[in-house]
Chains A and B, each alone.
Chain A
Amino acid sequence: AQSVTQLDSQVPVFEEAPVELRCNYSSSVSVYLFWYVQYPNQGLQLLLKYLSGSTLVKGINGFEAEFNKSQTSFHLRKPSVHISDTAEYFCAVNPNFGNEKLTFGTGTRLTIIP
């Protein structure tokens, strides 16, 4: 079984400042890792994913994440945030035999302060 911990339920950040959203996971098997974003009253949109290879992955909207196997972490970063980044962000994992159910964290609400 897998579990995902997002330690920060809310993160307020000033516009144009950098941000890091933390994600730690636990699993008895190797996993694939994902970050999704959810805007109000909408479904989830994939930001980026880690399957294998380079531990630094780049996604849409200027976001990137780094996979750290020893720390079982997959933190999401953006060097300069915009008002439009205000949303809920979810980290998720599934076993690396692929396309199984996703296990999500509880989410981090990112609020951008003008």
Chain B
Amino acid sequence: DTGVSQDPRHKITKRGQNVTFRCDPISEHNRLYWYRQTLGQGPEFLTYFQNEAQLEKSRLLSDRFSAERPKGSFSTLEIQRTEQGDSAMYLCASSLVKGGYEQYFGPGTRLTVT
């Protein structure tokens, strides 16, 4: 069990650029979640997958955001045409559908849009 990993840990980009983040869940975890955390706030749900199927998307996930989980393994979160308001910590978590229901979080990717 190597834990949830995320790459990159930090990303600085200019407004209008596209960025992509990667999350590798704990192996054998079939649920994968994306959350966004802004300064002074708790994480807010963005979307989640069971295996390769995207089961729910938050209203926070505008058309500029897209997430994929090909083959039910790692996941990518892409933000197109970044805006300053996208600056946040993007957290990934994974869990087992049948288990203790806890979600295991990665270290996050901190995005700064200048």
Give residues in A with beta carbon < 8 Å to B: 4, 9, 32, 34, 36, 41-46, 49, 51, 90, 92, 94, 98-99, 101-107
Contact = CB atoms under 8 A, between A and B. Distances in A.
Interface string B81-114: 0000000000101011101111111111010000
Contacts, number: 61
Contacts of B33: 101-102
Nearest to B44: A104
A21 B107 CA distance: 24
Nearest to B58: A101
A43 B91 contact: yes
B107 A43 contact: yes
Nearest to A98: B101
A98 B100 CA distance: 9
Interface in B22-51: 31, 33, 35, 40-45, 48
What is the predominant secondary structure among interface residues of chain B facing chain A?
loop
A44 B101 contact: no
Given A43-B4, A51-B100, A106 B42 contact: yes
A44 B91 contact: yes
Given A32-B101, A49-B101, A98-B101, A107 B41 contact: yes
Contacts of B58: 101
B95 A101 contact: no
Given A43-B91, A99-B95, A101-B45, A106 B40 contact: yes
Nearest to A107: B42
Contact of B97 (A90, A99, A101): A99
A63 to B, nearest CB: 15
B58 to A, nearest CB: 8
Nearest to B42: A104
Most A-side CB within 10 Å, residue of B4, B43, B104, B106? B43
